[in-house]
Amino acid sequence: MVTRSLRTTARRALVLAAAGAMAVTGVVALSGTANAATTLGASAAERGGRYFGAAVAANHLGEARYFQTWTTEFNGATPENEMKWQTIEPSRNQFNFAPANQIVTQARSRGMKVRGHTLVWHSQLAGWVSSLDATNLRSAMNNHINRVMGQWRGQIHSWDVVNEAFEENGSRRQSVFQQRLGNGYIEEAFRAARTADPNAKLCYNDYNTDGINAKSNAVFALVQDFRNRGVPIDCVGFQSHFNGASPVPGNYQQNLQRFANLGVDVQITELDIEGSGTAQANNYRNVVNACLAVSRCTGITVWGIPDHYSWRPNGTPLLFDSNYNKKAAYTAVLNALNTGQSDPPPNDPPPNDPPPNDPPPTTGACAATVSTNQWTGGFVGSVRVTAGSAQVNAWTVTVTLPSGATLTSGWNADRSGNTGTVQFTNVGFNGSIAPGQSVDFGYQGTGTGTGVTPTCAAS
Ligand code: 9MR
């Protein structure tokens, strides 16, 4: 153990020295160092499969430098405005998917993760929505969620189901949804979203919730309540728009961690930090390091690519200047991603450097747990398969459903049937699980799906 720590420390010193030397000679940071990726997306992917995305605008896709910077540097995308209600459903039940589709298609053809933004939000809402009575608004909200999520079912990594529903003091924002449908509208939206696309991670997204304060406490209470009652929610988005008046909070990482401890992923969804030079770079580095330190912080999205296309261009808050030059903040982010600590924890040996006497990997045991979201007449089961101390190459999970339960769909596993005892086996991309790591699959059905105990067999 002592040898490993020393070796790790020595390697880090080498990496840091190399980074310093390269910074002086102007070479892209760490490009010559073993294991150091040279783009934000590739580097984030090496940190536990995270993504590093950008908000993308369809009307800039035809600009060569814009398109090239996006597709070279990032492995994630959020349509900046194209999925918002006023654009995507400008008249009742008339949908305009084309602008968002341009982004989704380009992103997916390059293997990027796409964040859907956003389904239920008081702003950039189509005018017709505000004049509906409660019955019509409920039906319009459900239809909107079904149609928009259905358009890209199975293709969106995470959806911002509800956006910015709280005021700074922690009270509910008096949006049309709140006023007509009452407190339950957020839960209704999340339940509808789960049914519309069981594959997508369902997120609540907000700003000024980045530190521990009245607003983030209110979101925390909401998520805790949802988790306790089995209301579907998978992640919380922290927008992270920072400037002098709203700096990166000292308890940023602590706040991310307390949400992660509720059993949801956390994502940094709209990161931008006003400023320039070293100060801006340091702030960006701190944000990236906070995410890397929280194992459930699964990705970071910056809110734009070059400064001049930011929603607040005067603050120059992004990683590329208006000529698409990489800023000091870019280098700080890349270095943090390349050298920052993530899973495995700091004192673990680097993955490519096993001690000489390590035994060859053997196949091993697995465990399965299920979390069931039940509603009247239906359910979704989310199953996590975790490898023991040895590599798993293939797995089978057996679930005995209660009588009367019938599966109607599933994802990320093949299944042997729809009722009674059902065996789920891995599909091509998720059979292999590293020691201690997990993969997820799920199923949806009618009837009652609670009270099941999955078992796992590995080879
Ligand atoms: O960046 C978006 C900008 O182009 C729009 O004009 C603006 C309209 O409200 O929305 C901006 O994005 C917002 C995001 O959708 C939600 N969080 C705050 C973002 C910045 O205003």
Residue with CA nearest ligand 1 atom 20: 311
| Nearest of 124, 112, 118, 70 to residue 304 by alpha carbon | 70
Q: How far is the CA of 23 from the centre of ligand 1 (A)?
A: 35
Residue to mutate (ligand 1; options 81, 164, 166, 204; most atoms within 8 A of CB): 81
Start-to-end Cα distance in the chain? 30
Q: For residue range 255-295, what is the model confidence (pLDDT) as tens digits?
A: 999 999 999 999 999 999 999 999 999 999 999 999 999 99
Angle, nearest 10°, between helix axes 185-196 and 214-229? 60
Region 340-360 average pLDDT: 42
Q: How far is the CA of 95 from the centre of ligand 1 (A)?
A: 21
Catalytic residue among 82, 89, 164, 274: 164
**Percent of the chain residues topping a pLDDT of 70:** 86
Task: Please state the φ and ψ torsions of residue 408, each to the nearest 5 degrees.
Answer: -115, -20
β-strand partners of 163: 205
pLDDT at residue 396 greater than cutoff 70: yes
Pocket of ligand 1 (CB under 6 A): 80-81, 123-124, 207, 239, 270, 311
Region 429-447 average pLDDT: 83
Residue with CA nearest ligand 1 atom 21: 311
- Residue of higher predicted confidence among 443 and 358: 443
Query: Is 274 a catalytic site residue?
Result: no
pLDDT at residue 104 greater than cutoff 60: yes
Q: What is the mean pLDDT of the chain?
A: 88
Region 83-99 average pLDDT: 98
Q: How far is the CA of 311 from the centre of ligand 1 (A)?
A: 7
Q: By the 8 A CB rule, do 215 and 206 touch? A: yes
**pLDDT for position 409:** 78
Query: Is 164 a catalytic site residue?
Result: yes
Give pTM, 2 decimals.
0.71
**Percent of the chain residues topping a pLDDT of 90:** 74
**pLDDT for position 346:** 36
**pLDDT for position 253:** 98
Q: By the 8 A CB rule, do 186 and 295 touch? A: no
pLDDT at residue 397 greater than cutoff 90: yes
Question: Identity (one letter) of the amino acid at 380?
Answer: V
